[in-house]
Structures are given as structure tokens and as C-alpha cells.
Chain A
């Protein structure tokens, strides 16, 4: 992996996902030079301020809620706001929508992944982890189709294997990895594309 190739990482996860995200992100250096965009399924009344705080207490890279029209910056981790779909525009800004739920979810992982694939094409890394539904499978397929790299948490060790499984059922993904291995991949990537 060299630092010219990848420009963004999208991560999708549902039940068990908060721990999983912290697990793979807690070692990232503050100098990490890619934006990370995260859909974590939440209850719509979830206290998102508290969740962002929890992430920031555990992850060195700045975690914040994505805002509509905001320019995506490297070295930030953006969380999709509860009850909104998060999409990426061609000029690398965020859009939000309250369109119907997709896979019973809003935000939906598919919606983020598909729009990210449109924008970043082969320069995108998609990561799908633990969850008890089917969201993200089609989105990951799109990322693969457009030449991006696809990583899926190993259903054998995932807390809720259904989401990784349904992704594996519809796409030849690039890597199937444990959380420890995912953490290492991101760490290696970080060494390759850090600011300094």
C-alpha cells in the first residue's frame, strides 16, 4: 500500500460496533492522513454527543459528527448523525438526507458506501464489521466493483456475524480479518500515509 493510492476510508458497523471501532482505531497516530467516515447504527434518540466523547476519550484522531456541506478533511474521523443518511458529494463535502430507511436503517451503510464509491472509486477502502442485519453488503460490493479495497471482519470472531456474512455472500472481498488484524492493517496504512 502506498500513500498515493488511497484517499479515504469508510467503515460500517451495527450491533457490537462501538467496541469494534474503538478496537481498530485506538492506535492510529494523530498524524493519520486519511479521512475516516463511519456509519454506526444507533437508536435515533442515542446521545450522540456522549458517543463522540467516548470515541474521543479512546481514539487519538479527532472524532466528530459529520455536518452537511462540511469539507472532508484528512486526519478526521466523521460519524454519521443518528436518523440521517450520510452521503458524499463529488466536491468531497457531506450531504445528509432523511429519505426512507434502507435495510431498516438510517443512517444506512449502503447509502454511505455507494456514494463514497462514486466519489473515490479505486482510492477508497471499505471496512465492514459486526452487526445483526444485512446493511453494507451492497455498498461494499459497489466499492469492490469500482476498484476500491474491501475489508470484512471475520464472521468467526465477530460479535454479531450476520452483517459480515451477508457481505461475504455477495462479494469476493479482498480480506477477511479479525479485529486485531484490521487494527494492524490500519496501523500499517498509517505508517504509509501519515502527515510527517
Chain B
């Protein structure tokens, strides 16, 4: 048997062990990336093989924690893909204006930059007051950092540039104050964001949403898991609600994708149809007042 095949057996056992021991299920993640992260972890911690991790992972929760943090890599930025935020401002916000309140779910929010970006945008559109933002992830360490809203000062230039490219006419610097090394996000933004632990693999719907972001998370899931998560979003979204995916993600693997229209193809913004496709199934028909 070749080395790669042996390693695959070890990886399968490791993921199985993690699931049985800690309840985290990475078995339906895209394996090429998982493989790479495990190999890096093995090298970084001076192990020889993937198999060597097994006994430690099973017996030592803190060891698992460190592996887990490497598994849920949280690379993100403020206003990642400025053209997406521009589209949000121009195409989605106008359609959300009529609602008395709006609930937004950012699934896989990492360290929260996306949540602050969204809050800023809503603020500028005069919609922050009536918005509630739920930002969820499986990585508690990241969630905590999001909650603090403190980010390295050295990234400010890049963030400011992104911000300007969203077509905003204001200044990014009004949303934080800075010390020598950090920027600290403004309270009014922070107060509008609820950070919470939620696992897309195993947790359920937790509310009705007008807008869901799940950007650059689905690429890490296989088709089966993608379909599960899309169903979860479908159950959460109100009719006419919006689903925003990452720049290279689509509803392709979603069995119910015909319930959605593409609002913006380039920026991967989808909208759930306002009415049912099969009108005959509408429960409302049965409750129509009769003319007799």
C-alpha cells in the first residue's frame, strides 16, 4: 500500500475519533484542505505521522483544542470583496427598507470583520437602528475576538482602501478609535452584533432571517454537507429574503435551488422567491373567504 493511502486511513480514523470524542464532525469537509491542515499540524508539532496524533487527540482535550483551531481557519477581512458590499448597498438594502425590523445572520463570521462591515453599511443607510445582526461560528476564540472588536492597526490601510471601494462617501476612520497598535470598533456598531457559537453541521435554525451571509464557508464542505446547510438557510429565510455567498460559491449543490433567483450573479446574491412556485400547494388558498 502506498504512503498516501495509509495516510488516508489515518485521517479517516482521526476524523472519526474527533467526532466520537468531541462531537465535531469534519467528515464531510472537503478532504484536500483538511489533509493539508492536518499535515501542517503534524509538522508544526513534530509528529511523524497523522496516526501519531490519535492517542493524544482522544485523551487530551487541550491538544484537541489546538488542532481544532487549526481546522477552523479564520482568514477574513473588513469589506472583503468591495464590489459585493456595493451590490448590497445598491441592490439589497433598498428592498429591505420597507421592513419594520431586519434580522441578519452571518454564518461562519470568523473574527467578526464581516459583521462590522455590514453594521457600518447599515449605519450609513440609516438602517442600523432597526437591525439585529447575529454573527456565528464554531471557533470560540474567533468569536471572542469579534466580540472585543479590536483589530491590528497595521491592517487599517487595506481596510480603508476596501471601504472606499465599496462606493461609500464617508470616512472609515469615524468607525473606530486607534491606539498605537490596534483599532477598537465603535460601540454603537458593537452593540448591534450578537456573537454566538453555532455549528452549521449539527445545529438547527434559531430564528427567521431577512438576510443571510455565508461567505467562503461552503467551499470547505462537500456536496452532501452543502445541501444540508442550504436547507438550514432555506428554513431560516423569510420569503423574499436574501442569501449572500462567497465570490466563488453557488447554489449548484442545493436540491431546492429553484426556490431562489439570482439577484446579482457576479456578487453571488440570491433571493428566495416571494411566492411559492407551485401555487396549488399554497395553504392560503384554503383559507380564502368564500363568496357564498
Contacts and interface: CB of A to CB of B under 8 A. Distances in A.
A98 interface: yes
B36 A84 contact: no
A96 B248 contact: yes
Interface stretch (B27-35, B44-52, B188-196, B282-290): B27-35
B31 A97 contact: no
Interface in A94-127: 95-100, 111, 114-115, 118, 121
A84 B248 contact: yes
Contacts of A88: 32
A162 interface: no
Contact of A95 (B37, B73, B216, B219): B219
Nearest to B31: A89
B223 interface: yes
B62 interface: no
B4 A99 contact: no
A172 interface: no
A74 B249 CA distance: 23
Contact of A114 (B36, B73, B249): B36
A83 B216 CA distance: 11
A68 interface: yes
A104 to B, nearest CB: 14
B36, B216, B223 pick with most chain A CB within 10 angstroms: B36
Contact of B223 (A69, A83, A111): A69
A84 B33 CA distance: 12
Given A67-B248, A69-B223, A84-B248, A95 B32 contact: yes
Given A69-B223, A99-B75, A115 B32 contact: yes
B252 A121 contact: no
B218 to A, nearest CB: 8
B31 A99 contact: no
B248 A99 contact: no
B2 A121 contact: yes
Query: Counting chain A CB atoms within 10 Å of each CB, which of B37, B75, B223, B250 scores highest?
Result: B75
Contacts of A97: 30, 33, 219-220
A85 B32 CA distance: 11
B36 A95 contact: no
A75 interface: no
Given A69-B253, A87-B30, A96 B75 contact: no
Interface in B199-227: 216, 219-220, 223
A177 B247 CA distance: 37
Interface string A61-90: 000000111000000000001011101111
A146 interface: yes
A118 B75 contact: no
Specify which of A83, A85, A99, A146 lies most central, judged by the most chain B CB atoms within 10 Å of its CB: A99
A146 B4 contact: yes
Contacts of A67: 248, 250
Contacts of B249: 68
Contacts of B73: 99-100
A59 B55 CA distance: 52
A90 B30 CA distance: 10
Given A68-B219, A68-B249, A98 B36 contact: no
Closest 8 CB pairs of A and B: A87-B32, A95-B30, A96-B219, A97-B33, A115-B32, A95-B32, A98-B216, A99-B73
Given A69-B223, A87-B30, A111-B36, 7 more contacts: A67-B250, A84-B248, A90-B31, A97-B30, A114-B36, A115-B32, A115-B36
Interface of A: 67-69, 81, 83-85, 87-90, 95-100, 111, 114-115, 118, 121, 146
